Amino acid sequence: MSKESQMRAAINQKLIEMGERERLKELLRAKLIECGWRDQLKALCKEVIKEKGIENVTVEDLVAGVTPKGRALVPDSVKKELLQRIRAFLAQHST
């Protein structure tokens, strides 16, 4: 599957080179803030912090405690839109 992995690497490179990745990132960020996803995750972080204590909490703690829930909490509309854009990009630039 090196071809595939090569393919992936090429696509990613293209995304970055063309600035599409940055644009997609910004778009996602804006949408997540808009739908309140960010505040939800912040509340989760608070819980983790209260659990672990302010002094001892580490980044890994937070990441481990929050990321899985974060992925699940992304609204479907946001997900669909982003996928659509990625597919469009792939279609445009993979031939």
Q: Which of 19, 35, 71, 77 binds other proteins (CB under 8 A)?
A: 71
Q: What is the CA radius of gyration of the chain?
A: 17
Q: Which parts of 36-75 fold into alpha helices (H)? A: 37-52, 59-73
Q: How far apart are CA 54 and CA 78, in angstroms?
A: 33
- Which of positions 25-44 make contact with other proteins (CB under 8 A)? 25, 28-29, 32, 38, 41-42
| Site membership for other proteins, residue 23 (CB under 8 A) | no
| Site membership for other proteins, residue 90 (CB under 8 A) | yes
| Site membership for other proteins, residue 63 (CB under 8 A) | yes
| Site membership for other proteins, residue 45 (CB under 8 A) | yes
Sequence-distant (6+) residues with CB within 8 A of 24 are 15, 82, 85, 86
Q: How far apart are CA 82 and CA 79, in angstroms?
A: 5
Binding stretches for other proteins (CB under 8 A): 3-4, 6-12, 15, 21, 24-25, 28-29, 32, 38, 41-42, 45-46, 49, 54, 57-59, 62-63, 66-67, 70-71, 74, 79, 82-83, 86-87, 90-91, 93-95
